[in-house]
Amino acid sequence: MTNSLILKLEKYDRLSDDEKGALDNAIARIRTVEADEDIIREGDRPTESSLLLEGFAARYKIVSNGRRQISAIHVAGDFIDLHSFLLKTMDHGVLALTNCRIALVPHATLERITDEYPHLTRLLWLNTLIDGAVHREWLTAMGRLSATAHMAHLICELYLRLKAIGRVESDTIQLPITQAELGDTLGLSTVHVNRVLQELRKEGLIRFQGDALTILDWERLKKVGEFTSTYLSLQNEDRQP
């Protein structure tokens, strides 16, 4: 059940069989969450951390006028609230964008892993640092890129993250996210989102067929989105031989 997480962590360093077993054995139970339901609410004090097994989820906050800002999109293999192990109280909510399967790992088990598996702990820590790098890219894109460049950057990021867990087929990803949800991610109206996607289509950069998004020209799309994959390719300096 932890295959996607293992694939992602092994981009940074090799996991031993014992470490893989520790991740599998850490799961206490499986939870199914339907689309548009909260996985975690702001203010919750969870005693378990949630590993996304299937589906798409999003971190979000609601501002005083009731509008929503999505601050991260999560895919299979993401620990969507690993930080709650230390921060305790959630300062944001996490929403299921699609039907999701969640593996729950008790914080007591995570504490044991930190004691018994220092190398695995460092990889999980590295994973949270990369999440932070993604947030910095999002902040830069939100403040300084055009709407078209911001959309191109997001598509490039999601493509590479899905590729890392084996979810890309012939340059095509499944992206069952609505234009309203993309608008909440990019800070745009639904009309503006539609206009931007049409522009990327007309430029011959992407193709949408239902939920399937195909990248037609990777190099040009990266250029439009001012995208570099450096922050998704950080390496563990303590690699095993």
Specify whether 168 is located in the same domain as 214: yes
- CATH number of 24's domain: 2.60.120.10
Specify whether 155 is located in the same domain as 109: no
Specify whether 19 is located in the same domain as 121: yes
Specify whether 155 is located in the same domain as 120: no
The confidence score (pLDDT) of residue 240 equals 47
Q: Provide the domain count of the chain.
A: 2
Residue pLDDT, tens place only, 5-23: 999 999 889 999 999 999 9
Domain presence at residue 236: no
**Nearest residue to 24 via CA among 164, 120, 128:** 120
Residue 234: pLDDT band (50, 70, 90) is: low
Residue 230: pLDDT band (50, 70, 90) is: confident
Residue range of the domain that includes 220: 146-225
**Nearest residue to 212 via CA among 160, 157, 165, 155:** 155
Specify whether 120 is located in the same domain as 155: no
Q: Supply φ then ψ for residue 114, to 5 degrees.
A: -65, -30
Q: Percent of the chain, pLDDT > 70?
A: 96
- CATH number of 194's domain: 1.10.10.10
Specify whether 163 is located in the same domain as 122: no
Query: Structure pTM?
Result: 0.93
